[in-house]
Amino acid sequence: MKKFFALASMISAFSLTQACALNGGEQVDQDLSATGASAEAVSTASDDVLKAKLAELISGASFTSESDYPYVVLQGEGGARVTRLSASTLRKRLGAAILASSEGHRDIRVRGTRAVYSSFSEELASAEADAADATLEEDPYRIHARKLAATLKYMKANLRGTASYTFGTNDSGDGDGNGNVLIVYVGISKTTGKLIAIMTEAVYT
């Protein structure tokens, strides 16, 4: 019996030593177990922090076409982790959020809604060039470009597979007549695998 208690004490001491040697991420997991939280909750919280930062950066900016529309921050639906972006993935995972948030409640999942991809890096470079254009002085367009550039730069640094898509144009680039054109900048969360995006609208006739 004495040997049993001695062995139990040794195991307890070893376990304590191992717990103290855990790295930061493993220690968080132990803390979560103690508080009843889950790893999923931590991932969701980090997405919430990211979305809050995007909202802060893009606040006050708008996109000017034949009308002015603000930018909104969106998060896609759950399910399996997204590993690759495509227009089809956006329709499936972000369609409901876009439907609820767009002014005209446009549904990008409707058959025939045209999607056009553009390089996120080129969109960022364009925004940075407009933000640095001294000929615009402090014109509102330059201020908006500065906000957009900062937001896209943050997205590129904190999301995977960033891309830009436009939904609802015809072959000539005008609106297709079925609602506002939607412009979506999107990436994949590094923690949850969900889509996180900012969206604005345009009127082209």
Q: What is the DSSP letter of 110?
A: S
| 199 vs 202: CA distance, rounded Å | 10
Place of tokens 């908006």: 144
Q: What is the pLDDT along the chain (205 residues), one digit of tens a residue?
A: 434 334 344 434 434 344 333 333 333 333 333 334 455 555 566 999 999 999 999 999 999 888 899 999 999 988 889 999 999 999 999 999 999 999 989 999 999 999 999 999 999 999 999 999 888 777 788 889 999 999 999 999 999 999 999 999 999 989 999 999 999 999 999 999 999 999 999 998 8
Distance of alpha carbon 6 from alpha carbon 37, whole angstroms: 34
Residue 7, CA distances (Å) to 12, 15, 17, 20, 89 in order: 9, 12, 15, 20, 56
- Secondary structure element (H or E) that encloses residue 76, with its range: none
> Whole-prediction pTM value?
0.78
Is residue 129 within 8 A of residue 157, CB to CB? The reply is no
